[in-house]
């Protein structure tokens, strides 16, 4: 039976994330602050007349218009998907011929490689520097050598938190080889978005999501920003009615009221820097982060220690070494993490 499936699928290691609903969940870069009361009230009122018996708007018109207003572009510059994962898949499906390649940094978001494999593409991986910063020279060399259809720059990068300066991104855009895809899932936690490059470099595509800073991971809404002719071509392979009416409504409200989220983002950034200092006081190496998480090198088995207290973080293996990605939760949650780590680590010193 297995032989009936494609070779690339048989060999694939599927993406899997444990479903955790207990304790303190700091393993998936979610916004753990409570849902805004104003948003709860809006959705409760909307639910009284929700058009659940009809298909949703296949073009997600209201949402695209709301997103366009955020960035001062028309709705035809926007494509919405079920998370940015679906947008990434649509990019691959609409551009890659069999055997064509993409260029990606490593370590970075695993869906680039996974989606390319499903869509018959080859993956050229370009390692980050030893300190997990971007190396624009090696990326430029890879692009010039391999002529990829797509180059992905996760900026800031997941899982390392590192960021590429806008001038370096512009340097890659000026090569004009394939599409340069800037995945800005965490850009709300920093500055210098590549969106400002869109009108000067039509081969640039920017990806964004409502899953991280905006706290809508459960609604699964992501989007691409690009020149209208690019959006139109990618849209040809987007499944019809891909966003359900609930997801479109909740994301539209948040886009129209994004100012409500800014204090939470400020609080997360403050907690990130405070927790970074705390981990360093324990002897951990913590890399600079422009996101809502920290990339940590520790001799302590942090995930094992914290799991005993029902606190969940994510462990990675890279180049034979163990690292941890720790999402930043509420101030109260991070104080609890500090207390539990202190009791464990101090006992081992």
CATH of residue 314:
3.90.1150.10
Q: Could you report the per-residue pLDDT of 158-206, keeping only the tens digit for each?
A: 999 999 999 999 999 999 999 999 999 999 999 999 999 999 999 999 9
Show the DSSP H helices in 72-135 as ranges: 83-95, 111-118
Say if 344 falls within a structural domain.
yes
Number of domains within the chain: 2
Burial class (CB in 10 A: 0-12, 13-18, 19+), 247: buried
List CB contacts of 255: < 8 A, sequence separation 6 or more.
63, 66, 67, 69, 70, 210
Q: Is residue 131 part of a domain?
A: yes
Tell me: do 277 and 200 sit in the same domain.
no
Cis status of the peptide bond prior to 147, with omega within 30 of 0: no
Same domain? For 187 and 84 the reply is yes
Longest pairwise C-alpha distance within the chain: 62
41 in a domain, yes or no? no
pLDDT level of residue 347 (50, 70, 90 thresholds):
low
Please determine, for residue 348, whether its predicted confidence score (pLDDT) is greater than 80: no
Point out the domain boundary residue: 258, 284, 299. Answer: 258
Contact call for residues 223 and 207 (beta carbons, < 8 A): yes
Work out the end-to-end distance of the chain between its first and last CA atoms, rounded to an integer number of angstroms. 54
Q: Angle CA(105)–CA(111)–CA(114) in degrees, nearest 5?
A: 100
Residues 61 and 125 in one domain: yes
**Peptide bond connecting 214 to the previous residue in cis, omega within 30 degrees of 0:** no
Residues 266 and 254 in one domain: no
Domain that holds residue 282: 2-30+261-348
Q: Specify whether 298 is located in the same domain as 237.
A: no
What pLDDT digit, counting tens, does each position of 222-269 carry? 999 999 999 999 999 999 999 999 999 999 999 999 999 999 999 999
Q: Are residues 8 and 80 in the same domain?
A: no
**Is there a single domain that holds both residue 180 and residue 121?**
yes
Determine how β-strand 293-297 pairs with β-strand 101-106: unpaired
Which whole-number Å values give the CA distances from 94 to 195, 227, 231, 239, in the listed order? Answer: 21, 15, 11, 12
> With 60 as the cut, is the pLDDT of residue 323 above it?
yes
Judge if 155 and 243 occupy the same domain. Answer: yes
pLDDT at position 349 over 60? no
Copy the structure tokens of residue 221.
């809404």
Residue 37 lies inside a defined structural domain of this protein: no
Q: Provide CB contacts within 8 A for 211, sequence distance 6+.
A: 30, 83, 84, 185, 217, 220, 221, 222
**For residue 244, what are the CA distances in angstroms to 63, 91, 237, 248?**
12, 21, 17, 6
pLDDT, tens only, 307-322: 999 999 999 999 999 9
Residue 28 to residue 21: CA distance in whole angstroms: 12
> Which of 205, 231, 258 is the C-terminal boundary of a domain?
258
In a domain, 98, yes or no: yes
User: Do 84 and 191 belong together in one domain?
Assistant: yes
Q: What CATH number has the domain bearing residue 75?
A: 3.40.640.10
C-alpha span between 29 and 329 (Å, rounded): 9
Picking from 218, 251, 237, 210, the residue whose alpha carbon sits closest to that of residue 89 is: 237
Whether the Cβ atoms of residue 115 and residue 108 lie closer than 8 Å to each other: no
Tell me: the pLDDT tens digits for 209-219?
A: 999 999 999 99
Q: Looking at 207, 237, 258, which one is the last position of a domain?
A: 258
pLDDT band at 13 (very low <50, low <70, confident <90, very high): confident
pLDDT tens digits, one per residue of 26-63: 999 999 999 999 999 999 999 999 999 999 999 999 99
- In which band, very low, low, confident or very high, does the pLDDT at 102 lie, cut at 50, 70 and 90? very high
Same domain, 112 and 20: no
43 lies in some domain: no
Residues 151 and 222 in one domain: yes
| Domain assignment present for 39 | no
Instruction: Establish whether the linkage from the previous residue to 333 is cis, with ω within 30° of 0.
Output: no
With 0-12 CB in 10 A as exposed, 13-18 as middle and 19+ as buried, what is 133?
middle
Residue 35 lies in a domain: no
Cα–Cα distance, 158 to 349 (Å, whole number): 31
Asked if 104 and 209 sit in the same domain, the reply is yes
């Amino acid at each position: 039976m297995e032989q009936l499936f494609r070779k690339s699928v048989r060999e694939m290691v599927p993406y899997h994330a444990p479903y955790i609903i207990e304790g303190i969940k700091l393993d998936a870069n979610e916004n753990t602050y409570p849902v805004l009361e104003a948003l709860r009230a809006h959705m409760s009122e909307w639910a009284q007349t929700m058009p659940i018996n009809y298909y949703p708007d296949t073009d997600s018109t209201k949402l695209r218009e709301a997103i366009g207003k955020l960035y001062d572009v028309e709705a035809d510059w926007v494509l919405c998907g079920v998370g940015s994962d679906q947008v990434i898949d649509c990019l691959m499906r609409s551009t890659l011929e069999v055997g064509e390649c993409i260029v990606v940094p490593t370590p970075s978001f695993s869906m680039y490689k996974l989606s390319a494999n499903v869509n018959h593409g080859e993956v050229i991986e370009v390692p980050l520097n030893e300190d997990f910063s971007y190396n624009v020279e090696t990326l430029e060399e890879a692009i010039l050598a391999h002529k990829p259809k797509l180059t992905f720059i996760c900026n800031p990068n997941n899982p390392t938190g590192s960021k590429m300066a806008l001038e370096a991104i512009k340097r890659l855009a000026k090569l004009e080889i394939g599409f340069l895809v800037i995945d800005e899932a965490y850009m709300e936690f920093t500055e210098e978005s590549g969106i400002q490059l869109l009108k000067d470099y039509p081969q640039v595509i920017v990806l964004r999501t409502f899953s991280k800073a905006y706290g809508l991971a459960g609604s699964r809404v992501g989007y691409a920003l690009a020149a209208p002719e690019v959006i139109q071509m990618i849209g040809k392979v987007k499944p019809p009615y891909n966003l359900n009416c609930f997801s479109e409504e909740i994301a539209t409200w948040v886009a129209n009221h994004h100012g409500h989220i800014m204090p939470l983002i400020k609080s997360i950034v403050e907690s990130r820097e405070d927790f970074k200092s705390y981990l360093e006081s324990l002897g951990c190496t913590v890399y600079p982060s422009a996101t809502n998480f920290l990339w940590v090198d520790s001799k302590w088995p942090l995930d094992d220690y914290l799991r005993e207290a029902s606190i969940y973080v994510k462990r990675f293996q890279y180049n034979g070494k163990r690292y941890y990605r720790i999402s930043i939760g509420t101030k109260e949650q991070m104080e609890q993490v500090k207390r539990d780590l202190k009791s464990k680590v101090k006992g081992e010193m």
